[in-house]
Structure 1
Amino acid sequence: MVRTVGSRGPKTMEAIRAAGLRLIRQHGYEAITLRQLGQEVGIQPGSMYNYIQSKQELLFTLIRDHMVALSAEVATALEGAADPLDRLRRFIRFHVSYHIRRTDEVFIGGSELRSLEGENRTAILAMRRDYERLLVVILEDGMAAGQFKRTDPPVTAYAILAMLTGVCTWYNPAGRMGEEDLIRLHQDMILGGVLASGAQP
């Protein structure tokens, strides 16, 4: 029986999104089809077009929504923090916590960026630069205040982000280190690398 857009529409769209995340994570964007996605959700292939027009639209929507959530949540995490050292600690806490809770979104947002086309790719790259810029500004402010070592802020930011984002590929919640321990470990490592001589951690 074909489903139509109506009261069940939002629930069906959420099911499509969840299935899309799972299938793309397992098989890769190029390997999946809308027919396969429809079978996973339990709707006829033709009915998929009531919700998404193409596989590219689904991928863009998944990555865009991930970036929107990332940007909104980091803004909340940094709200009210003026001191660069406090902001850096908060940024590290947020980034680690977010990335171990949203592993599928993070994985797809990184590995399938290459599969985005034209304006879709341009839009996501702009959102990524905005997020990266938050960390660059924190580092620049810390250097200006004499709290952080004089380095190249963008390069330092990219190195920090690579370390922090990597947790989603290896962290095991059932392992011997809990989330708070993981956050403190990364805070200690990063602060140990960027703090200026004589600055108080």
Structure 2
Amino acid sequence: MARKTGSHSDITGPRVRAAAQTLFARHGFAAVSMRQIAKDVGVQAGALYLYTKDKQSLLFDLMKGHLEELLEAWQLHHPNSIGPMEDLEAFVRFHIGFHADRQEAVFIAYMELRNLDDDNFSVVEGLRKQYENVLGGILKNGQDTGIFAVPDTKLATLAVIAMLTGVNTWYRDGGRLDRETVQSIYWDMVRNSVAA
């Protein structure tokens, strides 16, 4: 569909995604209408379809974008393996730091999977597995070298990611503990749980 003359897609498109993200995180995907998103952006409901095919596409774009950004940020943060213990510490600190800055995106990524259609779910699940495989590879490397004692690396991977992502449910900047302290405490807990 062609853009209208004078359309500011580079401005309105991101505003549509930002409004959808906030509304989905606050009210849940099923409870939010395209009309609500349009009202938040300040455009007519019909204008939204210049920027997205439908509400499902908006949800998919948000979730896919979040996971692609996560994978890219990890590669920039830790491009090369140093050793299992150092890699695991880097992962713990990265995961908490990255997610603390994106609480709405994280909430949607974990709570709205059920609302993706099958094709979109497969793509998002594939990206999630890529990220889980990063941690799984670190744990397996540590297991193989005798640094970690993990009875089941897949289960340990899921448990560690769930524990780290759980920080998002309570952590707020400016609270009793600063981010670096939280990262250090969680690093101690993760290290103690996997160390041989």
**For residue 138 of structure 1, what is the amino acid of its counterpart?**
I
Consecutive unaligned residues of structure 2, counting only runs of 5 or more, are none
- Whether the 8 Å CA contact 1:142–1:148 is kept in 2: the answer is yes
Is 1:146 the equivalent of 2:146? yes
What does residue 74 of structure 1 align with? Answer: 74
Q: How far did 1:174 drift? A: 2.0
Q: Take 2:21 and 2:46, find their aligned partners in 1: how far apart are those partners?
A: 20
Matches within 5 A, 1:1-201: 4=4, 8-196=8-196
* Contact 1:164/1:186 (8 A) holds in 2: yes
Structure 1: distance between partners of 2:158 and 2:138 = 13
Q: Which runs of 5+ in 1 are unaligned?
A: 197-201
Instruction: Tell me if the contact between 1:56 and 1:116 (Cα under 8 Å) persists in the aligned partners.
Output: yes
Match of 1:199 in 2: none
Distance 1:33 1:154 in 2: 38
Report % sequence identity: 36
Deviation sequence 1:73-102 (CA, Å, 0-9, x none): 111222133311110000001000011111
Instruction: Look up the equivalent residue of 1:121 and give its one-letter code.
Output: F
Q: Deviations over 1:132-170 (max 9, x none)?
A: 011111001001111111421000111101100000111
Contact 1:132 1:157 in 2 (8 A): yes
61-70 or 79-88: bigger deviation: 79-88
Instruction: Give the Å deviation of 1:48.
Output: 1.0
Partners of 1:193 and 1:70 in 2: how far apart? 25
Q: Check the 8 A contact 2:15/2:41 in 1, yes or no.
A: yes
Q: 1:5 to 1:99 in 2, by over 3 A?
A: farther
User: Matched residue pairs, number?
Assistant: 194
Q: Matched residues in 1 for 2:87 and 2:152: separation? A: 18
Could you tell me how far apart the structure 2 residues matched to 1:6 and 1:166 are?
A: 44
Output the amino acid matched with 2:112. Answer: E
Alpha-carbon distance change, 150 to 60 in structure 1, aligned in 2, over 3 angstroms: closer
Structure 1's 73 and 150: CA in aligned 2 closer, same or farther, altered over 3 A? same
Q: What is the distance in 1 between the residues matched to 2:129 and 2:24?
A: 24
Tell which deviates more after alignment, 178-187 or 78-87: 78-87
For residue 106 of structure 1, what is the amino acid of its counterpart? V
Say if 2:150 and 2:156, in contact at 8 Å, map to a contact too: no
The separation in 2 between residues aligned to 1:5 and 1:18, in whole angstroms, is 23
Partner Cα separation in structure 1 for residue 35 and residue 11 of structure 2: 19
Give how far 1:173 is off.
Answer: 1.3
Q: What does the per-residue CA deviation read over 1:4-59, in whole Å, with 9 as the maximum and x for residues that have no partner?
A: 37561111011101100110111110111111111110111111111011000000
8 Å CA contact retained: 1:24, 1:108: yes
C-alpha contact 1:71 1:131 (8 A) present in aligned 2: yes
Cα RMSD of the aligned pairs, angstroms, is 1.3
TM-score by length of 1: 0.93
